[in-house]
Protein backbone atom coordinates (compact mmCIF):
# COMPACT_ATOMS: atom_id res chain seq x y z
CA UNK A 1 0.00 0.00 0.00
CA UNK A 2 1.47 3.19 -1.14
CA UNK A 3 1.80 5.93 1.39
CA UNK A 4 1.57 9.51 0.45
CA UNK A 5 3.83 11.89 2.18
CA UNK A 6 2.51 15.25 3.02
CA UNK A 7 4.53 18.31 3.69
CA UNK A 8 4.37 19.10 7.33
CA UNK A 9 4.99 22.69 6.58
CA UNK A 10 2.45 23.74 4.00
CA UNK A 11 3.06 26.90 2.08
CA UNK A 12 1.40 29.73 3.94
CA UNK A 13 -1.49 31.44 2.25
CA UNK A 14 0.21 34.75 2.52
CA UNK A 15 3.02 33.58 0.26
CA UNK A 16 0.72 33.33 -2.68
CA UNK A 17 0.06 36.25 -4.85
CA UNK A 18 -3.04 38.29 -4.31
CA UNK A 19 -4.68 37.01 -7.47
CA UNK A 20 -3.88 33.34 -6.61
CA UNK A 21 -5.17 33.74 -3.05
CA UNK A 22 -8.45 35.18 -4.34
CA UNK A 23 -8.75 32.32 -6.81
CA UNK A 24 -8.24 29.64 -4.17
CA UNK A 25 -10.75 31.22 -1.82
CA UNK A 26 -13.37 31.50 -4.57
CA UNK A 27 -12.64 27.93 -5.66
CA UNK A 28 -13.11 26.54 -2.18
CA UNK A 29 -16.38 28.33 -1.79
CA UNK A 30 -17.83 27.41 -5.16
CA UNK A 31 -16.51 23.87 -5.21
CA UNK A 32 -14.39 24.31 -8.32
CA UNK A 33 -10.70 23.65 -8.56
CA UNK A 34 -8.17 26.30 -9.41
CA UNK A 35 -7.66 24.73 -12.79
CA UNK A 36 -11.27 25.49 -13.71
CA UNK A 37 -11.10 29.12 -12.53
CA UNK A 38 -10.08 31.86 -14.97
CA UNK A 39 -6.73 33.47 -14.50
CA UNK A 40 -6.34 37.08 -13.38
CA UNK A 41 -5.46 38.10 -16.94
CA UNK A 42 -8.56 36.39 -18.29
CA UNK A 43 -10.68 38.08 -15.63
CA UNK A 44 -9.37 41.46 -16.64
CA UNK A 45 -10.09 40.67 -20.28
CA UNK A 46 -13.71 39.94 -19.40
CA UNK A 47 -13.99 43.23 -17.54
CA UNK A 48 -12.72 45.28 -20.51
CA UNK A 49 -15.32 46.96 -22.75
CA UNK A 50 -15.86 45.28 -26.10
CA UNK A 51 -13.79 46.54 -29.01
CA UNK A 52 -15.49 48.52 -31.75
CA UNK A 53 -16.14 46.36 -34.77
CA UNK A 54 -15.64 47.61 -38.32
CA UNK A 55 -19.40 47.68 -38.80
CA UNK A 56 -19.79 50.18 -35.97
CA UNK A 57 -18.67 53.65 -37.18
CA UNK A 58 -16.72 55.71 -34.75
CA UNK A 59 -18.13 59.09 -33.79
CA UNK A 60 -15.70 61.90 -34.52
CA UNK A 61 -15.70 65.40 -33.12
CA UNK A 62 -17.19 66.84 -36.32
CA UNK A 63 -20.17 64.47 -36.09
CA UNK A 64 -21.16 65.32 -32.55
CA UNK A 65 -24.53 67.02 -32.21
CA UNK A 66 -23.00 69.96 -30.38
CA UNK A 67 -20.72 70.86 -33.30
CA UNK A 68 -23.30 70.50 -36.10
CA UNK A 69 -25.28 73.70 -35.39
CA UNK A 70 -22.06 75.76 -35.29
CA UNK A 71 -20.94 74.43 -38.65
CA UNK A 72 -24.35 75.00 -40.21
CA UNK A 73 -24.56 78.60 -38.99
CA UNK A 74 -21.21 79.66 -40.49
CA UNK A 75 -21.40 82.31 -43.20
CA UNK A 76 -18.92 83.24 -45.94
CA UNK A 77 -18.19 86.89 -46.76
CA UNK A 78 -17.02 87.62 -50.30
CA UNK A 79 -15.12 90.88 -50.83
CA UNK A 80 -13.69 92.27 -54.04
CA UNK A 81 -11.74 95.51 -54.53
CA UNK A 82 -11.06 96.61 -58.12
CA UNK A 83 -8.90 99.41 -59.55
CA UNK A 84 -9.28 100.28 -63.22
CA UNK A 85 -7.99 102.80 -65.73
CA UNK A 86 -8.94 103.18 -69.38
CA UNK A 87 -8.62 105.25 -72.50
CA UNK A 88 -11.50 105.99 -74.88
CA UNK A 89 -11.78 107.93 -78.12
CA UNK A 90 -14.92 109.16 -79.90
CA UNK A 91 -15.58 111.11 -83.07
CA UNK A 92 -18.84 112.67 -84.20
CA UNK A 93 -20.48 115.79 -85.60
CA UNK A 94 -23.52 115.80 -83.23
CA UNK A 95 -25.75 117.64 -85.74
CA UNK A 96 -23.05 120.30 -86.13
CA UNK A 97 -21.07 121.40 -89.17
CA UNK A 98 -17.82 120.67 -87.35
CA UNK A 99 -16.76 117.33 -85.82
CA UNK A 100 -15.82 116.82 -82.19
CA UNK A 101 -13.07 114.51 -80.97
CA UNK A 102 -13.08 113.39 -77.34
CA UNK A 103 -10.31 111.56 -75.50
CA UNK A 104 -11.37 110.30 -72.08
CA UNK A 105 -9.14 108.62 -69.48
CA UNK A 106 -11.41 107.39 -66.67
CA UNK A 107 -10.10 106.29 -63.28
CA UNK A 108 -12.37 103.87 -61.48
CA UNK A 109 -12.46 102.12 -58.12
CA UNK A 110 -15.14 99.67 -57.00
CA UNK A 111 -15.81 97.60 -53.88
CA UNK A 112 -18.09 94.57 -53.69
CA UNK A 113 -19.25 92.80 -50.52
CA UNK A 114 -21.65 89.91 -51.03
CA UNK A 115 -24.75 91.35 -52.74
CA UNK A 116 -23.66 95.01 -52.45
CA UNK A 117 -21.30 96.88 -54.78
CA UNK A 118 -20.11 100.51 -54.84
CA UNK A 119 -18.40 102.33 -57.68
CA UNK A 120 -16.65 105.68 -58.18
CA UNK A 121 -15.32 107.01 -61.49
CA UNK A 122 -13.55 110.25 -62.43
CA UNK A 123 -12.44 110.91 -66.05
CA UNK A 124 -9.80 113.22 -67.41
CA UNK A 125 -11.04 114.80 -70.66
CA UNK A 126 -9.50 116.34 -73.75
CA UNK A 127 -12.11 117.78 -76.14
CA UNK A 128 -11.48 119.27 -79.54
CA UNK A 129 -14.57 120.71 -81.25
CA UNK A 130 -17.50 123.12 -80.88
CA UNK A 131 -18.20 124.49 -77.42
CA UNK A 132 -21.84 123.39 -77.49
CA UNK A 133 -20.90 119.71 -77.16
CA UNK A 134 -20.64 118.27 -73.66
CA UNK A 135 -19.23 114.89 -72.75
CA UNK A 136 -21.71 112.25 -71.60
CA UNK A 137 -19.78 109.19 -70.42
CA UNK A 138 -17.18 108.37 -73.09
CA UNK A 139 -19.07 110.11 -75.90
CA UNK A 140 -20.58 113.53 -76.49
CA UNK A 141 -23.99 115.11 -76.70
CA UNK A 142 -25.32 118.52 -77.75
CA UNK A 143 -27.04 119.77 -74.62
CA UNK A 144 -26.38 123.50 -74.27
CA UNK A 145 -26.84 126.72 -76.18
CA UNK A 146 -23.25 127.77 -76.79
CA UNK A 147 -21.01 128.93 -79.56
CA UNK A 148 -20.15 126.43 -82.27
CA UNK A 149 -16.64 127.88 -82.40
CA UNK A 150 -14.00 125.18 -82.61
CA UNK A 151 -11.98 125.09 -79.37
CA UNK A 152 -9.78 122.76 -77.37
CA UNK A 153 -10.37 122.21 -73.67
CA UNK A 154 -9.20 119.69 -71.10
CA UNK A 155 -9.51 118.86 -67.44
CA UNK A 156 -11.24 116.50 -65.05
CA UNK A 157 -14.85 115.67 -65.76
CA UNK A 158 -17.72 114.96 -63.40
CA UNK A 159 -17.37 112.44 -60.58
CA UNK A 160 -19.90 109.60 -60.86
CA UNK A 161 -20.89 107.58 -57.79
CA UNK A 162 -23.14 104.54 -57.94
CA UNK A 163 -24.20 101.50 -55.94
CA UNK A 164 -26.03 98.26 -56.72
CA UNK A 165 -27.76 95.50 -54.75
CA UNK A 166 -28.37 91.99 -56.08
CA UNK A 167 -31.72 90.66 -54.87
CA UNK A 168 -31.51 87.30 -53.03
CA UNK A 169 -34.53 85.75 -54.75
CA UNK A 170 -34.45 84.24 -58.25
CA UNK A 171 -37.67 84.70 -60.27
CA UNK A 172 -36.33 82.28 -62.88
CA UNK A 173 -33.74 79.54 -62.54
CA UNK A 174 -30.22 80.78 -63.48
CA UNK A 175 -31.44 84.40 -63.44
CA UNK A 176 -30.62 87.25 -61.03
CA UNK A 177 -32.21 90.65 -60.51
CA UNK A 178 -30.63 93.83 -59.14
CA UNK A 179 -31.46 97.41 -58.14
CA UNK A 180 -29.12 100.37 -58.37
CA UNK A 181 -28.71 104.11 -58.42
CA UNK A 182 -26.16 106.86 -58.66
CA UNK A 183 -25.34 110.53 -58.67
CA UNK A 184 -23.21 112.74 -60.89
CA UNK A 185 -21.21 115.19 -58.80
CA UNK A 186 -20.39 118.40 -60.76
CA UNK A 187 -16.61 118.39 -60.37
CA UNK A 188 -15.97 119.43 -64.01
CA UNK A 189 -15.23 123.04 -64.91
CA UNK A 190 -18.46 124.40 -66.40
CA UNK A 191 -16.68 127.52 -67.66
CA UNK A 192 -14.66 125.25 -69.95
CA UNK A 193 -17.86 123.40 -70.97
CA UNK A 194 -16.56 120.17 -69.46
CA UNK A 195 -19.85 119.64 -67.62
CA UNK A 196 -23.21 121.17 -66.80
CA UNK A 197 -22.20 122.24 -63.27
CA UNK A 198 -25.29 120.56 -61.76
CA UNK A 199 -26.08 117.34 -59.92
CA UNK A 200 -27.76 114.51 -61.83
CA UNK A 201 -29.43 111.48 -60.25
CA UNK A 202 -30.56 108.13 -61.62
CA UNK A 203 -32.21 104.90 -60.50
CA UNK A 204 -32.37 101.66 -62.43
CA UNK A 205 -33.23 98.00 -62.26
CA UNK A 206 -32.09 95.08 -64.37
CA UNK A 207 -30.96 91.51 -64.42
CA UNK A 208 -29.43 88.69 -66.40
CA UNK A 209 -30.26 85.16 -67.48
CA UNK A 210 -27.63 82.51 -68.21
CA UNK A 211 -28.06 79.52 -70.48
CA UNK A 212 -24.90 77.51 -70.97
CA UNK A 213 -22.17 79.81 -72.29
CA UNK A 214 -24.66 82.58 -73.17
CA UNK A 215 -25.68 85.39 -70.80
CA UNK A 216 -28.52 87.78 -71.66
CA UNK A 217 -28.79 91.01 -69.67
CA UNK A 218 -30.83 94.19 -69.66
CA UNK A 219 -31.36 97.38 -67.69
CA UNK A 220 -33.95 100.17 -67.53
CA UNK A 221 -33.85 103.35 -65.47
CA UNK A 222 -34.72 107.01 -65.07
CA UNK A 223 -32.40 110.03 -64.89
CA UNK A 224 -33.15 113.36 -63.22
CA UNK A 225 -30.95 116.09 -64.68
CA UNK A 226 -30.18 119.36 -62.93
CA UNK A 227 -31.18 122.54 -64.74
CA UNK A 228 -28.83 125.48 -65.31
CA UNK A 229 -29.51 129.18 -65.83
CA UNK A 230 -29.32 128.67 -69.60
CA UNK A 231 -30.94 125.28 -70.16
CA UNK A 232 -33.86 123.32 -68.74
CA UNK A 233 -32.92 119.69 -69.17
CA UNK A 234 -35.40 116.90 -69.67
CA UNK A 235 -35.62 114.09 -67.15
CA UNK A 236 -35.30 110.99 -69.27
CA UNK A 237 -35.63 107.23 -69.48
CA UNK A 238 -32.71 105.05 -70.48
CA UNK A 239 -32.34 101.34 -71.13
CA UNK A 240 -29.90 98.80 -72.57
CA UNK A 241 -30.18 95.27 -73.87
CA UNK A 242 -27.51 92.80 -74.91
CA UNK A 243 -25.67 89.60 -74.26
CA UNK A 244 -22.33 87.98 -73.63
CA UNK A 245 -20.85 84.76 -74.96
CA UNK A 246 -18.23 82.92 -72.88
CA UNK A 247 -15.53 81.68 -75.23
CA UNK A 248 -13.60 80.07 -72.37
CA UNK A 249 -13.04 80.52 -68.65
CA UNK A 250 -10.88 83.58 -69.38
CA UNK A 251 -12.32 85.06 -72.60
CA UNK A 252 -15.72 86.47 -73.55
CA UNK A 253 -17.33 88.76 -76.13
CA UNK A 254 -20.41 90.95 -75.76
CA UNK A 255 -22.77 93.10 -77.80
CA UNK A 256 -25.08 95.76 -76.33
CA UNK A 257 -27.60 98.31 -77.56
CA UNK A 258 -28.22 101.40 -75.40
CA UNK A 259 -30.81 104.19 -75.58
CA UNK A 260 -31.27 107.48 -73.74
CA UNK A 261 -34.08 109.92 -74.32
CA UNK A 262 -33.15 113.40 -75.51
CA UNK A 263 -31.76 115.60 -72.75
CA UNK A 264 -33.22 118.78 -74.26
CA UNK A 265 -35.61 119.94 -76.97
CA UNK A 266 -32.62 120.82 -79.16
CA UNK A 267 -31.17 117.29 -79.27
CA UNK A 268 -32.20 113.79 -80.20
CA UNK A 269 -32.15 110.55 -78.29
CA UNK A 270 -28.72 109.00 -77.78
CA UNK A 271 -28.51 105.54 -79.35
CA UNK A 272 -25.45 103.36 -79.83
CA UNK A 273 -24.30 99.82 -80.47
CA UNK A 274 -21.18 98.54 -78.65
CA UNK A 275 -19.12 95.36 -79.09
CA UNK A 276 -16.53 94.30 -76.49
CA UNK A 277 -13.89 91.67 -75.89
CA UNK A 278 -12.81 90.70 -72.36
CA UNK A 279 -9.64 88.81 -71.40
CA UNK A 280 -8.88 87.65 -67.84
CA UNK A 281 -5.21 87.46 -66.94
CA UNK A 282 -3.30 86.00 -64.00
CA UNK A 283 -3.28 87.46 -60.50
CA UNK A 284 -6.63 89.27 -60.86
CA UNK A 285 -5.72 91.33 -63.93
CA UNK A 286 -8.23 91.88 -66.74
CA UNK A 287 -8.20 93.81 -70.02
CA UNK A 288 -11.24 94.83 -72.08
CA UNK A 289 -11.49 96.28 -75.59
CA UNK A 290 -14.60 97.97 -76.96
CA UNK A 291 -15.73 99.59 -80.21
CA UNK A 292 -19.05 100.96 -81.34
CA UNK A 293 -21.08 103.24 -83.53
CA UNK A 294 -23.80 105.82 -82.99
CA UNK A 295 -27.31 105.36 -84.34
CA UNK A 296 -28.55 108.94 -83.97
CA UNK A 297 -27.35 112.51 -84.64
CA UNK A 298 -26.81 113.09 -80.90
CA UNK A 299 -24.45 110.13 -80.63
CA UNK A 300 -20.80 109.79 -81.55
CA UNK A 301 -20.35 108.40 -85.04
CA UNK A 302 -17.63 105.98 -83.92
CA UNK A 303 -15.96 105.28 -80.60
CA UNK A 304 -13.71 102.74 -78.91
CA UNK A 305 -11.14 102.16 -76.23
CA UNK A 306 -9.68 99.82 -73.66
CA UNK A 307 -9.69 99.30 -69.92
CA UNK A 308 -7.20 97.55 -67.63
CA UNK A 309 -8.26 96.45 -64.15
CA UNK A 310 -6.77 94.72 -61.12
CA UNK A 311 -9.00 92.92 -58.60
CA UNK A 312 -8.21 91.82 -55.05
CA UNK A 313 -10.53 89.09 -53.76
CA UNK A 314 -10.94 87.87 -50.19
CA UNK A 315 -13.23 85.23 -48.67
CA UNK A 316 -13.80 85.00 -44.94
CA UNK A 317 -15.71 82.37 -42.97
CA UNK A 318 -17.17 83.12 -39.57
pLDDT of residue 46: 46
SS3 174: coil
* Closest C-alpha among 90, 95, 91 to residue 268: 95
89-317 classified as CATH 1.10.1270.20: no
For 93-144, write each residue's pLDDT tens digit: 887 778 889 999 999 999 999 999 999 999 999 988 887 777 665 555 655 5
pLDDT of residue 287: 98
CB 136 within 8 A of CB 144: no
Cα–Cα distance for residue pair 91/258, rounded to 1 Å: 18
Range picked from 11-20, 192-201, 288-297 for highest mean pLDDT:
288-297
CB 107 within 8 A of CB 121: yes
Worst-scoring range by mean pLDDT, 56-60, 128-132, 219-223, 276-280?
56-60
Cα–Cα distance for residue pair 26/20, rounded to 1 Å: 10
Give the H/E segment covering residue 153. Answer: strand 150-156
**55 confidence band (pLDDT: 50, 70, 90):** very low
Q: Which residue has the higher pLDDT, 292 or 174?
A: 292
pTM of the entire predicted model: 0.74
Is residue 204 pLDDT above 90, yes or no? yes
**Domain locations in the chain as residue ranges:** 89-317
Cα–Cα distance for residue pair 271/92, rounded to 1 Å: 13
Is residue 34 pLDDT above 60, yes or no? no
Cα–Cα distance for residue pair 217/241, rounded to 1 Å: 6
Above pLDDT 90, what percent of the chain?
49
Alpha helices (H) along 16-126: 18-30, 40-47, 68-72
Q: Angle at the Cα of 82 (from 78 to 86), degrees rounded to 5?
A: 155
Cα–Cα distance for residue pair 6/273, rounded to 1 Å: 122
Worst-scoring range by mean pLDDT, 160-164, 177-181, 264-268, 271-275?
264-268
For 169-202, write each residue's pLDDT tens digit: 877 888 999 999 999 999 998 888 788 889 999 9
Cα–Cα distance for residue pair 190/208, rounded to 1 Å: 37
Range picked from 63-72, 271-280, 290-299 for highest mean pLDDT:
271-280
Is residue 299 pLDDT above 50, yes or no? yes
> What average pLDDT score do residues 7-26 get?
43
The torsion angle over the Cα atoms of residues 82, 85, 86 and 87, rounded to 10 degrees, is: 170
> What average pLDDT score do residues 51-79 get?
57
SS3 228: coil
pLDDT of residue 18: 46
* Closest C-alpha among 109, 107, 142, 137 to residue 124: 107
Cα–Cα distance for residue pair 232/43, rounded to 1 Å: 103
Please give the DSSP secondary-structure letter assigned to residue 196. Answer: -
pLDDT of residue 145: 52
Is residue 316 pLDDT above 90, yes or no? no
Label residue 151 exposed, middle or buried (CB < 10 Å: 0-12, 13-18, 19+): middle
SS3 191: helix
SS3 277: strand
Amino acid sequence: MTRHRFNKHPTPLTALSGATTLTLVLSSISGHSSADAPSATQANEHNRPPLTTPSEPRTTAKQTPSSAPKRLTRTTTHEKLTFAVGSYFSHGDYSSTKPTDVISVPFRISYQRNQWSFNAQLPYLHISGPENVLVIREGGETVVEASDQDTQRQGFGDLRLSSQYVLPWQPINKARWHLGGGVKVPTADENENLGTGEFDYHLYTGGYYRQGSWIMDGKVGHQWMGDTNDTDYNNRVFFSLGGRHLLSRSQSISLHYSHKDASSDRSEAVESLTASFHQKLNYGWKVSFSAGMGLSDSSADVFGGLQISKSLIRKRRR
